[in-house]
């Protein structure tokens, strides 16, 4: 007698529903998934909403190190061979829905189901590439260009078919932390972006595709990197003055 085939494992269904070792949790804006120093006993999968990961130094200074969107895992340090304490704090920026998976269940299913381990490995590689890009951004780009990149990431530009959209509410203080500058400089750059038509904002910020085009064009030469986005090059300015 032929035994019926075992139903295939559905990674999307596993990450969408509660079950053994899995619980869906609703977070309001500013609620914490976990805090720095907590026991790293679970991993979260963000189903909906936006969140951020922050760290606090021994002197009490806080820094935002990454932003999270739907489809991201957070708290993956729980899967280390020797689980310890949380290295950072994850906080909801908007209302969020997340699946909390216990460390034991996540490790067990990853060992049993290669589709989940492949999915998780893909996420880790993308996260690693993002961290490297963030490092290059901090080392070589101006604070104005770093701000432009953060706004584009929050608006999720680069995904096919994505329309211009409002980004989640975020303070200028948080943006300043992320790009390593002051709130006053962020305010100055935001006003410049608005005057150039790259963004609109009142209570919410809407990012236009023209900001993406400006960033891409600004990467053409080393000379462009030294001048603010949207400014006129010295050669063009000189030529313009001769034509007056």
Answer yes or no: is pLDDT of 244 > 70. no
Domain stops at, among 70, 103, 137: 137
pLDDT of the residue at 6: 52
Query: Domain span at residue 155?
Result: 142-231
Domain stops at, among 92, 110, 137: 137
Candidates 125, 51, 119, 121; CA nearest to 88 is 51
CATH number at residue 84: 2.60.120.10
Domain stops at, among 95, 111, 137: 137
pLDDT of the residue at 184: 95
Same domain, 121 and 16: yes
pLDDT of the residue at 222: 37
Same domain, 131 and 153: no
- CB 159, CB 152: distance < 8 Å: no
User: For all residues of the chain together, what is the average pLDDT?
Assistant: 84
Same domain, 25 and 117: yes
How many beta carbons lie within 10 A of that of residue 214, not counting itself?
A: 18
pTM score > 0.95 for this model? no
Section 182-206 average pLDDT: 91
Q: Exposed/middle/buried for 68, CB within 10 Å: 0-12, 13-18, 19+?
A: buried
**Is residue 169 included in any domain, yes or no?**
yes
- pLDDT tens sequence across 103-130: 999 999 999 999 999 999 999 999 999 8
Best mean pLDDT range from 104-108, 146-150, 176-180 = 104-108
Domain count, the chain: 2
Half-sphere exposure of 105 (CA within 13 A, CB side): 16
């Amino acid at each position: 007698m032929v035994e019926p085939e075992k139903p295939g494992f559905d990674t999307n269904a596993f990450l969408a529903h509660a079950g053994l070792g899995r619980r869906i949790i609703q977070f309001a804006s500013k609620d914490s998934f976990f805090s720095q120093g907590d026991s790293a006993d679970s991993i979260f999968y963000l189903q909906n909403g936006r969140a951020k990961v922050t760290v606090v130094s021994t002197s009490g200074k806080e820094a935002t190190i990454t932003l999270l969107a739907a489809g991201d895992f957070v708290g993956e340090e729980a899967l280390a061979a020797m689980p310890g304490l949380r290295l950072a704090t994850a906080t909801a920026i908007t209302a969020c829905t997340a699946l909390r998976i216990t460390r034991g269940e996540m490790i067990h299913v990853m060992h049993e189901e290669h589709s989940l381990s492949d999915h998780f490995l893909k996420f880790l590689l993308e996260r690693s590439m993002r961290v490297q890009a963030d490092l290059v951004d901090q080392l070589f780009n101006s604070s104005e260009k770093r701000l432009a990149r953060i706004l584009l990431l929050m608006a999720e530009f680069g995904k096919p078919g994505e329309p211009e959209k409002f980004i989640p509410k975020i303070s200028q203080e948080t943006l300043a932390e992320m790009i390593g500058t002051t709130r006053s400089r962020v305010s100055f750059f935001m006003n410049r972006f608005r005057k150039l038509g790259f963004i609109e904002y009142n209570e919410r910020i809407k990012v236009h595709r023209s900001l993406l085009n400006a960033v891409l064009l600004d990467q053409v030469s080393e000379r462009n990197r030294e001048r603010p986005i949207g400014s006129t090059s010295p050669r063009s300015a000189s030529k313009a003055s001769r034509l007056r």
